[in-house]
A and B are shown apart, each in its own frame.
Chain A
Amino acid sequence: MTPNLHLWLIPILPLLGAAINGLLGKRFSRQTVAAVALGFCGAAFLMALWIAARFSSLSLPHVEVLTGWLNSGGFSADYSFALDQLSLVMLLIVTGVGFLIHIYSVGYMWEEGGYYRFFSYLNLFMFFMLTLILASNYLLMFVGWEGVGLASYLLIGFFFLRDSAAAAGKKAFIVNRIGDFGFLIALFLMIKHFGSLDFQKVFDAVKPYSPETTGVGFLTAIALLLLLGACGKSAQIPLYVWLPDAMEGPTPVSALIHAATMVTAGVYMVARSHVIFERAPSALMVVAIIGTLTAFFAATIGIAQTDIKKVLAYSTISQLGYMFLACGVGAFSAGIFHLMTHAFFKGLLFLAAGSVIHAVGGEQDMRKMGGLWRKIPWTWATMLIATFAIAGIPPFAGFFSKDEILWRAYQVSWIYWLIGLVTAFLTSFYMFRLMYMTFAGGYRGDAEAAHGHEEQATDSRAGAPAPHGHGHGGVHESPPIMLVPLVILALLSLVGGWVGVPGSLGGGNHFDKFLGPVFRSTTPPVNTQHVQPGETVSPEQTTEGTAPKTGHSTEIIFTGISVGAGLLGLFFAWLLYLRSPQLPDRIAISMHGLYSTVAHKYWIDELYSWLFVKPLIAISGIVFWRGIDQGVIDAALNGSADGARDLSDEVRHMQSGNVRSYAGWIAVGAAAVIAYMVWIGLRTQ
């Protein structure tokens, strides 16, 4: 008898917070709003911790059915929650990092209007994200999936008076719809083929299949459609375009939704569906290719961005690419490991960037920063730790997870490894570029005296959260309530990777072993397409957690190479942005075409606009609006109304007021009825 953990409470708690703040918050003081939001979010976190403490006594996967939900024909879905190692990890990340970001937001949003609205949305996001994670069937997962999209839309457009924020919200929503469409079709295919959406039932039904190595079977189709959904949510090529624009939202939102949690939902979904993906090697290969390309592509764009949040946005896309690469090469636990460390260091980077923006009064352009490290030492120190983590410098968290991914990628193909390595170099380069431009050198912004009234104008345009406004006294460190989450996340960025130290470095790789039961039990017998010739891998060794065939010494060499790439990035960033700051401009001028292509993000937005948006608007204007809406729907309605009026116009003359003519009509009608009945009678005889 497994204990009842009341898993349903975890998502419901933040929903209560959202409801209380959303319905009543307008009358609350800011303190009350913050207390409600933090209270319910913290309660969810405490409950997650409580569950984690009792985790070892559970029989896994632990499924709890709250109540029936849909029952239609042969198909049924329950409102049910499941807990296993994977969802426990996600649960702790989401509630933990989410709670820290809630704390940070209390300070960050203090001066903003719509305080209650912000926290209501934030709690609503937590509700949907936790539903997504804890769902035990695809349908409930889809509810959470759509819900986080909604919360994301609401929060990106939080400063809705600014056109760019409203447009960014719409863009995120619409681009996500494309992915959701794929997800939905995948669900329909599952219902058709398996008759259920329950994880356990679907996976049990899939298990007897052997990998579809030739042709495209329905498993490959399902996997690719799921991948489309994941690409939308996790901002992978070709649907990544919404994430950079999503930086219009307040910075804590960028940290919570667009770095630490929501965008990793796609990775989680792919990892959750690994049973399907493992039986569709071609789809798995597509995952790896998309991941690799996105990682590299986004990293190159990140180099040329000058907006501090945009750099981090592209960095997020790039790191998500790593996670997809990990999933694509079958190293699901490595992907989840990177997801976790990424949640720590990228959440920290965004929060620290928010602290920087806060400090300089809403400025987001790095060219107007510089020399800030003396003025905001705590922000600088914590951000530096996060940068070391993302650059893959040992012993910070990102090093272990990224190294694990690169190593596993190498075992499948050296191409993945090479591109991943170059990306690691680029990552290190643009992150240290960001650090040098922001914190080193001299202050390039306006004179500090200018931090008074003139600033309002630039801020409303720059899209930064509005500054303190009056009485803003120059560059200053953030209040403690913002610094405490930074410090905690910095600690996690430092030690978070130690749970997964690989065997080659003398660790036990506990993280991999912990997640092992989720991923190991279902690996298909043979995985032909990914195995390089000459590298015969037996089924047991393709699974997670077992020691790779190649020896530890080789792995250490590769570790050395990837650390070297990170340090090389650090060196180049130092060379270009600290030692000789005029050099980048010269390079930009000498390689003008390449530079402007990169700086304009490869003109992808323009390409999409030209290829999809404008034709769609044109077609909508001519065909759907004028043609179908006005021509068919409106015309049918107006036509029937006109017809009825014209007919009535004729018929009303019959009501002449002459009683004898009425009598005549009655007689004619009676005669007609009699004639008809006589006719019927004669015919049936």
Chain B
Amino acid sequence: MVQLSYYLVLSGILFACGVVGFLIKRNIITIFMSIELMLNGVNLSFVAFAAHWQKLSGQVFVFFVMVVAAAEAAVGLAIIIALFRTRETLNIDQVNLLKL
């Protein structure tokens, strides 16, 4: 039986990797993948807790998260394609027109 703490540490590492990638990467697709990484880190902790407490609700939460992530990916990728068609770039630093 693997201890709960191992899962949580792995989950934390995955989440931290996601945060770092989200903050430092300029390529918008990479940033997108970092967000997925964060979501999956959180998912891991959910299923870990669900297994630990023998409760189904954690698993159900994960399904919700995956559904939302899928929807988000669909919308997000559509935005990225539209962006690329107009700006011909994926560098997030060059997408800076919306400001005061």
Chain A contacts to B: CB under 8 angstroms: 652-653, 655-660, 663-664, 667
Contact B99 A657 (CB under 8 A): yes
With a cutoff of 8 Å between Cβ atoms, the chain B residues found around residue A663 in the complex are 22-23, 31
Which of B39-47, B58-66, B68-76, B90-98 is found at the contact surface with chain A? B90-98
CB distance from B19 to the nearest CB of A (A): 6
Chain A residues in 8 Å Cβ range of B97 = 657
Which chain B residue lies CB-closest to A670? B19
Q: Contacts of B100 on A, CB cut-off 8 Å? A: 652-653, 655
Q: Min CB distance, B48 to chain A, in Å?
A: 19
B26, CB-defined interface residue at 8 Å: yes
Kindly state the separation between the CA atoms of A295 and B5 in the bound complex, as whole angstroms.
Answer: 102
B96's contact among A653, A657, A664, by CB below 8 Å, is which? A657
B residues less than 8 Å from A657 (CB atoms): 96-99
- Chain B residue at minimal CB-CB distance from A671: B19
Q: Shortest Cβ distance from B5 into chain A, in angstroms?
A: 17
Q: Could you tell me the distance in whole angstroms from the C-beta of B44 to the nearest C-beta in chain A?
A: 18
A-B contact pairs, 5 of them (CB 8 A): A652-B100, A657-B96, A657-B97, A659-B93, A660-B93
Count A-B contacts at CB 8 Å: 28
CA distance A663 to B92 in the complex (A): 11
**B residues 2-31 in Cβ contact with A at 8 Å:** 19, 22-23, 26, 31
A3 CB to closest chain B CB (Å) equals 77
A664 to B93, CA, bound (A): 13
Chain B min CB distance to A668 (Å)? 10
Known contacts A660-B26, A663-B22, A667-B19; is A655 also within 8 Å of B92 by CB?
Answer: no
A519 to chain B minimum Cβ distance, whole angstroms, is 81
Please name 6 further chain A to chain B contacts, defined as beta carbons within 8 Å, in addition to the given A652-B100, A660-B26, A663-B31, sorted by A numbering.
A657-B97, A657-B99, A659-B92, A659-B96, A660-B92, A667-B23
Task: Name the distance in Å between A674's Cβ and chain B's nearest Cβ.
Answer: 11
User: Least Cβ distance of B43 to chain A in Å?
Assistant: 17
Q: How far is the CA of A664 from the CA of B31 in the complex (A)?
A: 13
Interchain nearest-CB distance for A278 vs B (Å): 78
B-side contacts of A667, CB under 8 Å: 19, 22-23
B23 and A658 contacting across the interface, CB-CB below 8 Å: no
What's the nearest-Cβ distance from chain B to residue A323, in Å?
76
Report Cα–Cα, A653/B19, bound state, in Å.
24
Q: Is the CB of A656 within 8 A of B96?
A: yes
Q: Nearest 4 pairs between A and B by C-beta? A: A657-B99, A657-B96, A659-B92, A652-B100
Query: Which residue of A has the minimal Cβ distance to B96?
Result: A657
Residue of A660, A664, A667 with highest tally of chain B CB at under 10 A: A660
Contacts of A659 in B (CB 8 A): 92-93, 95-96
The residues of B that contact A658 with a CB separation of less than 8 Å are 93, 96, 99
Contacts of B96 in A (CB 8 A): 656-659
Q: Which residues of A contact B31 (CB under 8 A)?
A: 663
Chain B residues whose CB sits within 8 angstroms of the CB of A660 once the complex forms: 23, 26, 92-93
